[in-house]
Amino acid sequence: MSRPGDALRAARDILLGMSAYQAQPAKGSRGLELDDRIVEQIREALGGQLQQIPTTRLRWYLADLEECQQQIDGGDFQLVGQLYRAMRRDGTLRGLLGARTSGLVRLPKRYYGDETLATELKRETGGRCVFDDMLPPSELSLMVADGIVASVSIGELVPVPGRDFPVYVRLDPQYLLYRWNQNQWYYSSVAGLLPITPGDGRWVLHFGGGCGRVAPWTGGLWPALGRAFINKEHALLNRSNYSAKLANPARVAYAPLAATDEQLQSWFRKVMAWGRDTVFALKPGYEVKLLESKGEGIGIFQDEIDQCDREMMIALVGQITSTTGGSGFSSQELPMQGLSDLMGETGDALAYTINTQVLPPWVVGRAGLAALPKAPIVKWDTAKPKDRKQTADGLNALGQALKGLFDAMAPYEKRPALDALLEDFGILAEEAPTDRTAEQTDAGEDVTPELEEAREKSLKGDPEPKERAMRRAA
């Protein structure tokens, strides 16, 4: 006999496209679970915290990047997560990443599916809708950023006392672990290694756009961004060191050959005390000069910093024009379209995760398993206003063209294949409602083709008794 949990698990597997070869171990066979009492007791003792204290690493070298690659290919995200955490210190990377994350989650959302449940998601609760209360924009921004850089993001749907829906909390990806021999994800928490079951109503495992189903970390931007970040950090330190040594000119003091040792020492002390607005009254033979470096060597460090910034821009937004600017409208159109495409890809990946792992458990909790087939889905509107205007103008022109086509073919008693034309333009046609949809005869019987034919004859002046038409229909 199947249980409701089994049905929910089967529906989740279908939504996520779980492989038929992936084993479904019984509860407890993988060690501790997130909802085990011992795990809850440990969390309660730590104020509800599940994540361990993050490990911070301050100095990075290119050799560390190679170690990251070797470690993550084995399924361990520790070093990559630490590198990603360090990279967020960079202002250029932080700003560009914000354009792909915070800019996305604050775009308008479109809801589809059951109208009652969709309306419930949009219901305001204390200044924010249920959707935003359940999935705070700040946490979603971190989820998207993790998916872009580290390729994988992990979070938990935490129950909230006093309300019937949870809140999403993003967790640091450096404690993620994937075991190849089990095809299973784990999270190293304060209570130990916990298996991750995406879509079970507690765990949310998000993969960024462009990631494959096998070894998804190969689709992350961390190798390119990590190399640019490490080189830039070294260039910044070297430039600061160069400036500290050579930016301040050396002081050169000349004394006459006949000066005594006492005069030289006195003169040297005066030059050493050279401060702001210092004035020297010099006798013939005494002279003061500044020995300045040409400062040309510092340019190589600035070139390295600029190159690293460009690499970050291209990796994150696909071009540099939207950040550095460009001359002329035509030079900006293609780069901005590329950024719009990246935003669309990121938005689709985010919507897929929410529609398959967050909303289905919420629907089951609200309306039961029977409501799952009509569960609402969400999609972020990433279309540019200019594109939307062009679409509207195109639809308007199409409507006028179709009207002219119908008028031109009317004298020949012909009409165009409207459904085929609309399909060519990617427009879904719906049947227009008619007054005869629910029409019935006086006897309470549905309108038949024979009765419809009799009506048409009546309109043409060739009436046929309704009784005869009904007998003919019978």
| pLDDT tens readout for residues 395-417 | 677 777 777 777 777 787 777 77
Say if residue 391 is in the same domain as residue 438.
no
Helix H or strand E segment including 291? strand 287-291
Query: For residue range 406-461, what is the model confidence (pLDDT) as tens digits?
Result: 777 778 777 777 777 666 666 655 555 555 444 444 444 455 555 566 555 554 45
Mean pLDDT of 143-154: 94
Q: Looking at residue 321, what is its pLDDT?
A: 67
Q: What is the pLDDT of residues 6-64, one digit of tens each?
A: 556 666 666 666 555 555 555 555 678 888 899 999 999 988 899 999 888 999 999 99
The answer as to whether 314 is a domain residue is no
Average pLDDT over residues 334-340: 61
Q: Quick check: is 313 in a domain? A: no
Q: Count structural domains, the chain.
A: 3
Cα–Cα distances in Å, from 337 out to 102, 223, 325, 359, 451? 19, 25, 15, 31, 57
Name, in order, each residue with C-beta under 8 angstroms of 70's C-beta and a sequence gap of 6 or more.
Answer: none
CB neighbour list of residue 166: distance below 8 Å, 6 or more residues apart: 134, 157, 158, 159, 160, 201
| pLDDT higher than 60, residue 464 | no
Mark whether 62 and 185 lie in a shared domain. yes
Q: Look at phi and psi of residue 390 and say left if phi exceeds 0, alpha if psi is from -120 to 50, else beta.
A: alpha
Q: Looking at the structure, do residues 108 and 95 belong to the same domain, yes or no? A: yes
Distance CA 467, CA 474 (A): 11
18 within some domain? yes
Q: What mean pLDDT comes out for the span 147-174?
A: 93
As given in the structure block, the two tokens for residue 280 are 């020297």
Nearest to 173 by CA among 350, 33, 54, 57: 54
Nearest to 36 by CA among 28, 25, 44: 28
Encode pLDDT of 87-141 as tens digits: 999 999 999 998 889 888 888 899 998 889 999 998 887 778 999 999 999 999 9
What pLDDT, on a 0 to 100 scale, did the predictor assign at position 474? 46
SS3 state at 214: coil
Q: What is the pLDDT of residue 452?
A: 60
447, 359: one domain: no
| Closest C-alpha to 214, from 352, 75, 77, 30 | 75
User: Given this model, what pLDDT does residue 25 score?
Assistant: 56
Judge whether 325 lies within some domain.
no
Indicate whether 453 belongs to any domain.
Answer: yes
Model's pTM, two decimal places?
0.71
59 part of a folded domain: yes
- Looking at the fold, whether 158 and 43 belong to one and the same domain comes out as yes
**Shared domain check, 151 and 32:** yes
The better pLDDT of the pair 12, 470 is held by 12
Look at residue 145 in the predicted model and tell me its pLDDT. 94
pLDDT greater at residue 347 or residue 383: 347
What integer pLDDT is reported at residue 429 of this predicted model? 54
Residue 80 lies in a domain: yes
* Long-range contacts of 63-72, Cβ-Cβ distance < 8 Å, separation of 24 or more: 64/230, 65/223, 65/226, 65/227, 65/230, 68/222, 68/223, 68/226, 69/223, 72/217
pLDDT of residue 133: 93
CA distance 55 to 82: 7
Residue 12 and residue 95 in one domain: yes
User: Do 344 and 398 fall into the same domain?
Assistant: no
Domain membership of residue 265 (yes or no) is no
Query: What pLDDT does residue 13 have?
Result: 64
Q: In this predicted structure, what is the pLDDT of residue 449? A: 58
Q: What is the DSSP track for 53-74? A: PPP------HHHHHHHHHHHHT
Last residue of a domain, one of 317, 347, 380: 380
The amino acid sitting at 455 is R
SS3 341: helix
Residue 67 binned pLDDT confidence (cut-offs 50, 70, 90): very high
User: Closest Cα partner for 248 from 288, 280, 289, 293?
Assistant: 293
Query: Which tens digit of pLDDT belongs to each residue from 198-234?
Result: 988 999 999 987 777 788 888 899 999 999 999 999 9
pLDDT at 445: 46
At residue 303's C-alpha, the angle toward residues 301 and 306, to 5°, is 110
**Whole-number average pLDDT of the chain:** 80
Same domain membership, residue 173 and residue 119: yes
CA dihedral 384, 386, 389, 394 (to 10 degrees): -100
178 pLDDT band, cuts 50/70/90, is very high
How large is the average pLDDT for residues 248-270?
Answer: 84
Residue type (1 letter), 197: T
Please check whether residues 113 and 192 belong to one and the same domain.
yes
Give the mean model confidence (pLDDT) for residues 369-390: 77
Check whether residue 51 and residue 35 sit in a common domain.
yes
Highest mean pLDDT pick, 217-226, 246-255, 385-394:
217-226
Domain that holds residue 417: 385-424
> Which two structure tokens, joined as six digits, stand for 284?
């013939």
**Whether the predicted pLDDT of 328 surpasses 50:** no
Query: What residue type is 140 in one-letter code?
Result: L
Q: Indicate if 445 and 410 belong to the same structural domain.
A: no
